Each structure stands twice: as structure tokens, then as C-alpha cells.
Amino acid sequence: MTQTVMEIRDVGLEFRLPRSLADLARNRPGRVVKALNGVSLELKKGETLGVVGESGCGKSTLARCIVRLYAPQHGSIRFDGQDIFTAAAKADRSYNRRVQMMFQDPYSSLNPRMTTGKILAEALRVHKMRPEGGIEGRVAELVDLVRLPQDAAGKLPHEFSGGQRQRIAIARALAVEPEVLIADELVSALDVSVQAQVVNLLLELQERLNLTILFVAHDLRLVRHVSNRVAVIYLGQIVEIGDSETLFSSPSHPYSQALLSAAPSLDPDDKGDAIRLQGELPSPLNVPPGCPFHVRCRHATAFCKTKVPALRPLPGRGEVACHHAEEIIENA
Amino acid sequence: MTSNTPILKVENLCTTFRRGGVALPAVRDVSLSVGKGEVLGLVGESGSGKSVTLRSILGLSRRYREVTGSVEWKGRNLTAMPERKLRRIRGRDIAMIFQEPMTSLNPLLTVGMQLTETLKAHTGLPRAARRARAIEMLDHVGIPAAASRLEEYPHQFSGGMRQRVMIAIALAAEPKLLLADEPTTALDVTIQAQILDLILSLADEMQMGVILVTHDLGVVAQTCEKVAVMYAGRIVEQGAVRQILGAPRHPYTVGLMQSVPQDLPPRTPLYSVPGTPPSLEALPKGCAFAPRCQYRSETCLTARPPLEAVAHGRSAACFNPIAAERGDAA
């Protein structure tokens, strides 16, 4: 359980926007979206790491970096001790097999013209998981594994509901017997009761196959439920990371506090402390200097505007990136 | 606040679509009422008829559906009203906010134009006063530097800001009733909290009734006074939020609540209602929920349970409701 399978160090990624006419007229360079600003985290064998944050904070970008859909400009990602962005690693397809991604939208992530059986068989063939004769049997096994009806292999994606499609996506990811699953908003598009079914399936398969999961989602209740550890991301930086129960029951960073208190409780009498965040997420085109959260933070001081806080461990809690974490906890 | 006479009274509303000669009953026998300043939540899974109910109330795209039953608004029945007269009620008396802030604004018109258009249609204000009112409205919904943003186009606003603009447009003519179709589903929780606070405070200030469609029971718990749970086009349980969420009586409501991961040991299996909702083409003969229900009896398969009072102020459509517990006022 404690063995580190993936080590992400100081990963940074910027997207350059094409120079607009206004930029050309003023003779200035094109603008830059700072999607990730020095993200570091470790994935341990068999754990589920939840990643939460508002839209546009870099959650999905991080997930895509991990599966090499984007190449970060700074930092490194190591899997099993090996940097995944070296030329030798890129030529090696086994990484693609061992780390699999599942996407948010069950309607656009499956080829509408391929039957479930073909979708699964393709994954098996590309990675030569089974000899040609064994493919049919394995497809049937996979369909069974994610509890789809046996005739599912012959059907096209449009014949399935959203929940069933996400099961196909899970089966496709599991077809190649991966060690790490990256679930990017896997159940966000589904109704609660369907969500519950897919989450149950994922938890059960994780137990059985000893999978490591990075669970990116914006539903905080769900992340709390499935994760062992949780990372809170704000404007491309991790502001807090730690044990899921500790973080959710007593968040240390003012942003985590505000984010958690914004999730509506099922109890009408529990109005919460309602720490309402003022304003919106600043644009990643224009990340504020110093602590990126200072413009919305109740506790911000002049110091926060100048110096970026580093992620540091707090006794009895996880790691927090806040200059004033101790005082905030004490006064809470 | 809630004990006033209803401003909107919907009775036995049925909406049926036709596809290739097959009748698809999307909404069946829905009855509900909203009072001044009251917030009613309408919850259910996708396809349960929540949005169609809202649209039927306003008579939107009538061409494609058959609507029966009555929607009583100020003593008049909206379902029988000709389009020309309805248009005077839409936007002025009853306003609607749609789910997707990204697509419900016209991308070619400035936000200011879209706001003043409503005012022009529904109020007698002169041009300068309309502009002043538009600024006031944007300011009211929490858009900073409102005056300068009037000249901007929707793409220059973020999702949360666009939804605020939608709310400003909906509220510009001071409607008596607001129909909000999943106004926060596309937004982040932090922005969701701001938008819901805004709708609540406006409902209170302007004594406006609100029907809030959502699939998030947390949102209902935090914002509504009354709630109606829909399943396969029918209301299966209805009553005060505290009563319904505190001690649900209909098995479907129970299942819906148990699916939400709250107060559970971490990483334990979540409850999920077995099976899937029925298709509208093949609704079961008896109770639509019976095939998925663990409490079903013989009657459930043959007869449709009527929505009946099970306690003071609450009703459920079930032959075998869950026994009252935890001091539910009987």
C-alpha cells in the first residue's frame, strides 16, 4: 500500500494563445494560459487519490499530462522510477497500457460506429493482450466484469444508457490490465442512482484487481466517499493535500474550507457556516502574483500578495500551501 | 410566509408527445401550487418530466405536444389561452431561467440589448429609464462595473456571470413567478451557492414565487420550503422539505436519498435503486416504480396508486408507504 507508483514533481504547463489582432497592433506577445504551476504529488499503490477544484483549475490538464496527452514544460512525471517523457519511454507503449484514462462524456468518448465487442477487441489487439483466438472469450469476460448484459458485445454505443456507456469505458480501460486508472469526471454526467452503481463497480474492481486510481471530480461528497487521499487544486497549484477524512472533516486551507462549505447539505437545518467566496476564479490567463487565492481570501495580508506559499506539512494534518495556516486553524 | 393563497395552481397537468403514432406521456396528472415568496423544489432523475412540466406551464412549443389539465394563473387557465395573450404573461408575470447559461443568451447581441429588450416588451419605460433599470438589475445580481458591461457580448462573460445575466433578464420586469430549470447544474459549487443565495434573497424581497427544478437533493434541502419528487412523469411524493427529507415515505424518495454519499463509512458500497427507469413507450400498467421497488405487492403491478395525503401537508403515491418514524407529524 505504501509503495509509490507515480511521482509527479513540480509539473508546469502553459498554453500559448495565438497572437490576436490586438496583440499584433500593440506589438506584444500572445497571451499565455498557465494551466499548471508546479504541481507535485505521489500516487501510492492501491490507493484512490481524489482531485477536486473549480472548473478551469487544471484538474483535467493534470490528468491528461499523466497519460501523456499533454507534455508538461517543467518538472517530471515518473512511473515506476522512470521518467515517462524521455524519448525511450515515449517509444515504449507499455506505459500506455499500464496507465489508462476514462473520460467524462459517455456520449463522445466511444466510437459510435463500433460495437462494444469491437471497441474492446481493438484495445486487446493493439496491446497484444491475447492471441487472436482468445479475444472473443476475453471480450465476454470483460462484458461480464462490468456487469453489462451478455448480448452487449454486439450492440452499438447508442443502444446503451449513459451509465452503461461508462461501464463500456471502464471495460475498455480494464481490457489491457492496467495498474493505474485515471478517472476524469467519470460519473459527473450521470444521475445519482446510476452514479452509485458505477462508483460501486469501480470500488469493487479496485479491490479485486489492486488498482491505483486518480479520481478527478467536482462532486465533493463523492470524492470524499471514494478517496483515501484528496488534493485540492486552485489555479494550477495544489493548495492542500492529505488524508480524505481529515481534509473533509477539518480543512486547513481557506480555499478548501470555502469549497467544502459551498456543497449543500441534505439536512435543511444544517445551513453550514456558509463561508461564501466572493467573486470568481481568476482567469488562468492572468494568475495573481503571490498566493493565487489572495484576491478571494478573507485572511489575506499584504505578505500573501507578494510571496507564493509553498506546500508544507502541518502536524496532524496534510500538507497546506498557506502562509497563515496555523493562525487560521487556531481561530477556527 | 408560506401559508398564503397560491398564485399558481396546476391541476392534473398532462403533456403527451407523439412519435410515429405512439403516444409518449411525459407528464401525467401533475398537480402543484406555489404561493407568494414560496420556493418549490421539483426533483427527479433525467427524463422524469421536470423540465417538460415547467415548459408546459408556460405553454412553450405547444405545437409538438398535447397539454391537458389546467394551469391557473390569476383566475385564468393558461393551457387554454391563445399564444398572443400568453406572450404578455411570459416574461412579465412568469419568467423562466434555462439550464445552460452558455447557449441561452443571443451571442450576437450585447448583454445590455438583451436586458432592455425585455423591458421594452413588458414595461412602458422610456429608453433612458430602461438603460438605468438594466444597470440596476446587473448590479443587483452582483455583476461588478455593471454600466460598462452593458456594451459587452455574452462571450465576454464567464458561466456564472452569464447565469447572473439570465437571472437579471428574467427578473427585469419583476415577475411574480420564476421558473428556474436547473439554474446551477452547469456551475461550480462555489458559484452555485452565490446564485442560489441570490435567487432566495430576490424571492424574499420581491415576494416572488419560485419553482426550482434540480436533481440535487442538497440544493432542495438548502433552498426550498416545499418539494415534489417526480418519477416517470408523475409526482410520487410532495410536501414540506423538512418532512420529506427527514422521513421520506415513498420508496423512490428513499432510494434517491440513499444514493447520495453522505454520512456513510468511506469506500463502502453506495445504495442504488436496482433497475432503470421505464421508457415512456412502455410504462408499466400499475405503479411505474413497481418493477424496481422492494416493497411492491400484487396491487402495485395492476393498479396505479393515487397521490394521497399520508400526513398533514404531505402526500405520497404509494400503496405501501414506508412507515412513519422519527415523530413525523401525523
Most confident region among A215-224, B126-135, B143-152 by mean pLDDT: B126-135
State the angle between helix axes of B251-258 and A192-209 in degrees (0 to 180), rounded to the nearest 10: 50
| Cell 452499438, located at residue | A156
Could you tell me the pTM of the whole model?
Answer: 0.85
The C-alpha cell at A66 is 499523466
Answer yes or no: are the C-beta atoms of B59 and B79 closer than 8 Å: yes
Would you state the pLDDT for residue A303? 93
* Residue type, position A220, single letter: L
Interface of B with A in 270-309 (CB under 8 A): 270-273, 276
CB of B155 within 8 Å of a chain A CB? The answer is no
Answer yes or no: are the C-beta atoms of B205 and B179 closer than 8 Å: no
Sequence-ordered list of residues with C-beta below 8 angstroms from that of A76, at least 6 positions apart, any chain: A8, A9, A10, A11, A83, A85
Structurally, chain B folds into a number of domains equal to 1
| Cell 478551469, located at residue | A56
Residues in chain A whose Cβ is within 8 Å of chain B: 48, 54-55, 161, 163, 191-197, 199-200, 203-204, 218, 220-222, 224-228, 244-245, 258-259, 262-269, 271, 274, 276-277, 280-281
Contact state of B218 with A265 under an 8 Å Cβ cutoff: yes
CB of B265 within 8 Å of a chain A CB? The answer is no
Would you state the pLDDT for residue B325? 58
Would you state the pLDDT for residue B326? 45
Would you state the pLDDT for residue A110? 92
How close is the nearest chain B Cα to the Cα of A117, in Å? 23
Q: Which domain holds residue B170?
A: 6-231
Q: Which percentage of chain B shows pLDDT scores above 70?
A: 96
Long-range CB contact pairs, A319-323, < 8 A, 24+:
A319/A238, A319/A240, A319/A241, A319/A242, A320/A239, A320/A240, A320/A242, A320/A252, A320/A253, A321/A237, A321/A238, A321/A239, A321/A240, A321/A253, A321/A291, A322/A239, A322/A252, A322/A253, A322/A254, A322/A291, A323/A291
Q: Where are the beta strands (DSSP E) in B82-198?
A: 94-97, 177-181
Mutate which of B220, B270, B279 to test chain A, going by most A C-beta atoms within 10 A?
Answer: B270
Examine residue B262 and state whether it is found in any structural domain, yes or no: no
Answer yes or no: are the C-beta atoms of A77 and A243 closer than 8 Å: no
Examine residue B163 and state whether it is found in any structural domain, yes or no: yes
B163-179 exposure pattern, b = at least 16 Cβ within 10 A, e = fewer: bbbbbbbbbbbebbbbb
Confidence band, pLDDT 50/70/90 cuts, at residue A314 = very high
Examine residue B272 and state whether it is found in any structural domain, yes or no: no
How close is the nearest chain B Cα to the Cα of A68, in Å? 27
**Span A96-117, average pLDDT:** 90
Interface of B with A in 16-55 (CB under 8 A): 45-46
In this complex, the residue of A192, A204, A244 whose CB is nearest that of residue B260 is A192
CB of B126 within 8 Å of a chain A CB? The answer is no
B303-314 exposure pattern, b = at least 16 Cβ within 10 A, e = fewer: ebbebeebbeeb
Contact state of B189 with A268 under an 8 Å Cβ cutoff: no
Q: Which percentage of chain B shows pLDDT scores above 90?
A: 53
Would you state the pLDDT for residue A274? 62
In this complex, the residue of B45, B222, B264 whose CB is nearest that of residue A193 is B45
> A193 or B230: whose pLDDT is higher?
B230
CA atoms within 13 A on the CB side of A183: 33
CA atoms within 13 A on the CB side of A71: 8
Contact state of B160 with A280 under an 8 Å Cβ cutoff: yes
Examine residue B160 and state whether it is found in any structural domain, yes or no: yes
Q: Which percentage of chain A shows pLDDT scores above 70?
A: 98
Examine residue B19 and state whether it is found in any structural domain, yes or no: yes
Quote the distance between the C-alpha of residue A162 and its chain's center.
Answer: 20
Confidence band, pLDDT 50/70/90 cuts, at residue A108 = confident
Would you state the pLDDT for residue B302? 93
**Span B96-111, average pLDDT:** 87
Collect all residues of chain B within an 8 Å Cβ-Cβ radius of residue A200. Answer: 269-270, 272
Answer yes or no: are the C-beta atoms of A310 and A10 closer than 8 Å: no
Would you state the pLDDT for residue A57? 87
Dihedral angle of Cα B311, B316, B318, B322, to the nearest 10 degrees: -60
Q: What is the CATH number of the domain that holds B73?
A: 3.40.50.300
Find the residue in B nearest to A267 (Cα). B221
Would you state the pLDDT for residue B70? 93
* Length of chain A as a residue count: 332
Find the residue in A nearest to B186 (Cα). A55
Q: What's the start-to-end Cα distance of chain B, in Å?
A: 22
Examine residue B64 and state whether it is found in any structural domain, yes or no: yes
Task: For residue B190, count CB atoms less than 10 angstroms from its CB and return exposed for 0-12, middle for 13-18, buried for 19 or more.
Answer: buried
CA distances from A127 to A65, A96, A173, A220, A273 (A): 21, 9, 12, 35, 52
Answer yes or no: are the C-beta atoms of B72 and B9 closer than 8 Å: yes
The rounded distance, in Å, linking the Cα atoms of B207 and B210 is 10
The rounded distance, in Å, linking the Cα atoms of A174 and A98 is 10
Examine residue B268 and state whether it is found in any structural domain, yes or no: no
Collect all residues of chain B within an 8 Å Cβ-Cβ radius of residue A228. Answer: 267
Examine residue B220 and state whether it is found in any structural domain, yes or no: yes
Contact state of A268 with B222 under an 8 Å Cβ cutoff: yes
Find the residue in B nearest to A221 (Cα). B261
In this complex, the residue of B190, B197, B260 whose CB is nearest that of residue A221 is B260
State the angle between helix axes of A192-209 and A162-175 in degrees (0 to 180), rounded to the nearest 10: 20
The string of DSSP letters for A57-92 reads: SSHHHHHHHHTTSS--SEEEEEETTEETTSHHHHH-
B247-267 pLDDT, tens digit each: 999 999 999 998 888 878 888
Domains annotated for chain A, with CATH where assigned, are 4-331 (3.40.50.300)
Answer yes or no: are the C-beta atoms of A202 and A213 closer than 8 Å: yes
Mutate which of A244, A266, A277, A293 to test chain B, going by most B C-beta atoms within 10 A?
Answer: A266
Collect all residues of chain A within an 8 Å Cβ-Cβ radius of residue B159. Answer: 55
Q: Looking at the predicted structure, is the pLDDT value of residue B292 above 80? A: yes
CA distances from B129 to A221, B115, B142, B144 (A): 46, 12, 20, 20
A41-62 pLDDT, tens digit each: 999 999 999 999 888 888 989 9
